[in-house]
Every structure is written in C-alpha cells, then in structure tokens.
Structure 1
Amino acid sequence: MNSNLNFATACRETLPTIFGYIGIAATFGIIGRTLGFTFWQVLLTSALVYAGSAQLTALNMIAAGNPVLSVVIATFLVNSRIILMSTTIASYFQKDSLSKNICLGSFLTDESFALGMNKINYTHGRLSFQWLNTTNILSYLTWVGATAVGAGIGTAVKNPQKFGLDFAIVAMFLGLLYLQVISDQQLNRFLQICVIGGTMVLTYLSLIVLPANLVIIGVTIWGCTLGVWLKHVL
C-alpha cells in the first residue's frame, strides 16, 4: 500500500482481496442451485442482497419454508454489523455529500472496510470517495460475477464444500489482520495482540451463549469496549 487515493491505486490494492470473493461467491452460487433455486434467483440474491453469509442464511431459510418476515429479520441481524462499520467509515467522509455517503455505505463490505482501515495507516488518516468507491464496486462486480459462474455450474458439483473454497475468506482476513498489525504505527504492538487474543476468547464464549446470528455484532461491541479499556490501562 501507499499514500495515493486514486482509481489506479484502488484497483491494485483491491486485487488481492477479490480473489477471496471468487471462491466464496462461486460456492454460494453452487449451493443456491443445489437447494433448488434457479440461476436467476441465485444471481439476483447476490446482486440485490449482496450480504455474504446473510445470503446463505436467507436461501437456507427459504428452502426450509420459513415465513418471509423471519427471513428478513434473520438477514438483518446477520448483516447488522455493517451499521457499525458504516458509522466508522462515515467519519472520514464528513465533507462529502449525503448521496456519496449512501453509495459508500450501500456497497461497503467486511473486506472493503478492513482494507480502508489498513489504508488510513498509509495516508495519515485520510480516505477518498474515489478510492473507497472503486474498492466497493470492484468487490461487488467480482461477487456477482463469481456467483453467476457458480450458479451456471449448478448441480454439476454435488458437494462444493469438499473443495475448501469457503476458507478463502478466512485466509484473506488473516492477511488483512497481519497487514493491519504491522502497518499501524500509532498503537502499541502488545496492545494489538492483547485485543486480538481477547476478541478470540470473546468469540468462543459468544458462540456458547448467543444465537449464531448475534455473535458478530456482540463480539464487535464487546471487542471495541475491551480495546478502549486496554488502551487506557496499557
């Protein structure tokens, strides 16, 4: 990464992350077809919902015959973490118009958010609409395109999980986490490791006591609280 916030830089810096989208979106497309949905139903889910794990939750609930209201509420809860991410990102675009902020928030993902948080370590805390919007749109087009490929293959792949494509997202986030740790010059390295370790413990405990669709939002809130407390203590 560097300090440039133009279109070309955004394309180059987004390239490593979109490879993770290819594997997981193609897997979603295949799973959608094996659940009995048509090519267009699966493709439109990615194009209109564009919510990763929430899409899988929605299709599984619909296939199981759950009421529409239940599907909507579950999808909202699974994806509610984007509210927190959008709130954080919005502070860097206070001088931009409302329409630009809505555009950024609508296409924001976990990956583009993490990429943006890494980017500010190289730009003295600055982000530009052009840079983040390019990252968002490239991610969106990759996700929809890979879904189309997976849905096109359809039921030809009987067990998509055996290829391990879903691990691509995990590997990508591990890479982004590593970059965040080594590039952040403002926070003490020991503090960062403590927060990462604490977040892992919180995730494990939350999986025991919370419904699966509330784990991410719960750990996000508790993890941020833990980070602020440790920062003052250390």
Structure 2
Amino acid sequence: MNADLSFRSGLKDVVPTLFGYIGVGLAMGIVANTSHLSVLAVLLMSLIVYAGSAQFIIISMLLAGSPVSAIVLSTFLINSRMILMSMSIAQYFKKDSLWQNIGLGSLLTDETFALSMNKINLTDKKLRPQWLHAANIIAYLVWAAATVVGCLLGNLITDPNQFGLDFAVVGMFIGLLYLQIITDRSKSLKTQLLVVLFVAIAMYFLMRFVPGNIALLIATLLGCGFGMVVSPK
C-alpha cells in the first residue's frame, strides 16, 4: 500500500482483504444451500443485503418462519455499527457530491472502512472517491460471487468449519489491525494498545449481558471515548 489514490491503486489495495470475503462468502453460500435457498435467492440476498453476519441471521430466521418486520429489525441492529463507520469516513468526502457519498456509503463494509483508515496514514489524511469506489466495487462483486459458488458447492461440503472458513474474516481483521497499528504515526504504540485492550475487555463483559452485535456497537462507542481520554492533547 502506498499514497496513490487512483482507481487502480484501490483495486490493488483491496486484494489482500478479498480472501476474507471469499472464505466467509463460501461458508454463507454453503449454509444457504443446506437451508434450501436457491442460487438466485443467494445472489439477490448478497447484492441487496450485502452484509455477511446479517445474511446468516436472515437465513436462520427464514427457516424459523420469523415475520419480515423482525428480520428487518434484526438486520438493522446487526449493521447499526455502519452508521458510526460512515460518519467517521464522511469527513474525508465533504467536497464531493451527495450522490458520490451515497454510492460510497452504500457499499462501505468493515473491511473497506479499515482499509481506508490504514490508507489515510499514508496520504496525509486524504481519500478520494475513485480509490474507495474501486475497493468497494471489487469487494462487492467478490462477495456476491463467493456466496453463489458456495451455494453451488453446498451439496459437496456439509461442514464448512472443517476447512477453517469461519476463521477467514477473523484472520483478515487481525491483519488489518496490525497494519493500522504499525502505520498510524499520529498516536503512540502504547496508546493504541491501551485502546485495543480496553475494547477487548469491554466486549468480554458486555457479551455476558447483551447480544454480540449490540455489545460490539457499545464497545466501539466506549472505545472511542476511552481513546479521546488517553490520547495526548
């Protein structure tokens, strides 16, 4: 990764994260197949919903016969963290049009957000629409393709966990966190590790009382506040 913010650079920068999309996408497609969803249904879900964890929940709720209102509400809560991410990244596109921002925000994911946070450490806190569009679009297409392939392979693979596919996204985020820590020179290593430790501890205790996705949202907010307190003025 370098300071280039061109469309081609966006294509190159997003490549390492694609392995996470492929692993989780294959697992999602396999689960969908074993739940008797058609390939077309899986493709449309990936293109319209485009949310890994939410798609797993949607499949289980469909099988349980849950009402549409409950499915919509659950999906919103699971992805509510994207509100925080979108607000954080919007400041870098204030000079761009509303439609540019809508396009960027619609396809923003955890991975492309983290990629953007790493990129700004190399570009003097700057981002350009063409760079993020490239990263978002490639991630979007790879995710959809991976879920469809997983669905087609569903009859051959009964347990995706035996291949470690469930760990793919975790491993990817560990790598992104490492890159963030080593490239962000605006904050000391000690401060960054303190925030990471605080969020990890907060998640540990919060998950005892609230669902995982809500715990993640609360821990993120608490981590932001803690980071403001411990960061040198």
Q: How does 1:164-175 map to 2 (within 5 A)?
A: 164-175=164-175
Partner SS, residue 93 of structure 2: coil
Q: How does 1:66-215 map to 2 (within 5 A)?
A: 66-215=66-215
Task: Identify the residue that residue 51 of structure 2 maps to in structure 1.
Answer: 51
Residues 113-149 of structure 1, C-alpha deviations (whole Å, 9 max, x = no match): 0000000000000000000010000100100011110
CA distance in 1 between counterparts of 2:230 and 2:35 reads 46
Q: CA deviation at 1:201?
A: 0.3
* Count of residue correspondences: 233
Q: CA deviation at 1:89?
A: 0.8
Task: Identify the residue that residue 216 of structure 1 maps to in structure 2.
Answer: 216
CA contact 1:25–1:146 (8 Å) conserved in 2: yes
Q: CA deviation at 1:8?
A: 1.6
CA contact 2:28–2:56 (8 Å) conserved in 1: yes
Partner SS, residue 36 of structure 1: coil
Partner SS, residue 185 of structure 2: coil
Q: CA deviation at 1:156?
A: 2.2
CA distance in 1 between counterparts of 2:34 and 2:114 reads 32
Residues 159-183 of structure 1, C-alpha deviations (whole Å, 9 max, x = no match): 1122111211111110110011010
Residue identity matched to 1:69: S
Residue identity matched to 2:88: T
CA distance in 1 between counterparts of 2:7 and 2:127 reads 12
TM-score norm. by structure 1 comes to: 0.97
Deviates most, 28-37 or 208-217:
208-217
CA distance in 2 between counterparts of 1:161 and 1:42 reads 20
2:27 is equivalent to residue 27 of structure 1: yes
Q: CA deviation at 1:212?
A: 2.5
Q: CA deviation at 1:98?
A: 0.2
Structure 1: unaligned runs, 5 residues or longer: none
CA distance in 1 between counterparts of 2:191 and 2:12 reads 31
CA distance in 2 between counterparts of 1:39 and 1:82 reads 27
TM-score norm. by structure 2 comes to: 0.97
Residue identity matched to 1:114: A
CA distance in 2 between counterparts of 1:135 and 1:43 reads 20
Task: Identify the residue that residue 230 of structure 1 maps to in structure 2.
Answer: 230
Residues 69-119 of structure 1, C-alpha deviations (whole Å, 9 max, x = no match): 111100000001111101111100000000000000000000000000000
Residue identity matched to 1:208: R
CA contact 2:7–2:133 (8 Å) conserved in 1: no
Identity %: 46
Partner SS, residue 155 of structure 1: coil
Partner SS, residue 204 of structure 2: helix
Runs of 4+ in 1 over 4 A off after TM superposition: none
CA contact 1:54–1:75 (8 Å) conserved in 2: yes
CA contact 2:160–2:166 (8 Å) conserved in 1: no
Q: CA deviation at 1:154?
A: 2.3
CA contact 1:74–1:213 (8 Å) conserved in 2: no
CA distance in 2 between counterparts of 1:18 and 1:212 reads 24
Q: CA deviation at 1:42?
A: 1.4
CA distance in 2 between counterparts of 1:8 and 1:147 reads 25
Q: CA deviation at 1:213?
A: 3.2
Deviates most, 212-221 or 139-148:
212-221
CA distance in 2 between counterparts of 1:38 and 1:154 reads 11
